[in-house]
Amino acid sequence: MDKMPKGYVDVLAKQHKAKAVASEHRFYGQITPKNDLSTETLRFLTLWNQALADVNHFIHHLYDGTHDQRQPVDRRGHVVSWRSLSAWFRIAYLNATVAAISSSGVVNPFL
């Protein structure tokens, strides 16, 4: 993504002296490995476990492999699917973040 959305993200980052960064799911947005809408390609849109693992890898890479709980990381989502992902990520990778903001995240229908 070119830049972070503005608003409460900036306020919280300043309050907690945090770094605000954004990532993009590898099968959404500009990072699409294939350029077609075939069933074979679209099946990747439902790989939630892979999306969670990608976020965990991103956080680990952000700290150059040295991430531990002394370095607080907050995970949040800005679109509906990412809001749900924020909540699921906090559950699946409890030690990777100190918080998750899932504003209006739809969780139960997917579980």
| Confidence label for 79 from pLDDT (cuts 50, 70 and 90) | very low
For residue 37, the model assigns a pLDDT of 74
* Model pLDDT for residues 5-63, shown as the tens digit of each residue: 567 777 877 887 777 777 776 666 566 666 777 887 777 766 778 888 888 888 888 77
Q: Could you please report the per-residue DSSP string of the chain?
A: --SPPPSHHHHHHHHTT--------TTSTT--SS----HHHHGGGG-HHHHHHHHHHHHHHHTTT---TTS--EEE-SSHHHHHHHHHHHHHTGGG-SEEE-TT---GGG-
Of the listed ranges 32-36, 75-79, 84-88, the least confidently predicted one is 75-79
For residue 84, pLDDT over 60 is answered with yes
Higher pLDDT pick, 85 / 70? 85
pTM over 0.85: no
Q: How far apart are CA 44 and CA 56, in angstroms?
A: 18
For residue 66, the model assigns a pLDDT of 58
Residue 100: phi, psi to the nearest 5? -145, 130
Q: How far apart are CA 79 and CA 93, in angstroms?
A: 20
Residue 101: phi, psi to the nearest 5? -105, 120
